């Protein structure tokens, strides 16, 4: 995905894996409310572990 985005934008893109805690801390540091950052980090973990379960449906 990073390669595709890089080609489209003309900018180098590097994927960096973050732990759930690093992701949450980064979002809070960027100004996101802690509860929302926690929910998004949990969602990211579930997608990483179980997939998005998006098979072309809604």
CA angle 53, 19, 34 (to 5 degrees): 85
Question: Residue 24 contacts by C-beta under 8 Å, 6 or more apart in sequence?
Answer: 34, 37, 38, 40, 41
Copy the structure tokens of residue 1: 């995905």
Tens of pLDDT, residues 1-58: 888 989 999 999 888 889 999 999 999 999 999 999 999 999 999 998 998 776 555 4
Cα–Cα dist 15/44, whole Å: 15
Please choose, from the candidates 20, 36, 18, the residue with its C-alpha nearest in 3D space to the C-alpha of residue 28.
Answer: 36
Q: Supply the range of the domain harboring residue 39.
A: 17-51
| pTM summary value | 0.67
Which pLDDT score, from 0 to 100, does residue 38 have? 97
pLDDT at 56: 52
- State the pLDDT at residue 3: 86
Asked if the structure places residue 57 within a domain, the reply is no
Model pLDDT, residue 2:
81
Q: 23 in a domain, yes or no?
A: yes
| Domain count for the chain | 1
């Amino acid at each position: 995905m990073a390669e595709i985005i890089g080609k489209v934008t003309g900018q180098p893109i590097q994927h960096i894996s973050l732990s759930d805690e690093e992701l949450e801390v980064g979002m809070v540091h960027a100004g996101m409310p802690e509860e929302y950052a926690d929910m998004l980090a949990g969602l990211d973990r579930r997608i990483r572990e179980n997939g998005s379960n998006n098979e072309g449906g809604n």
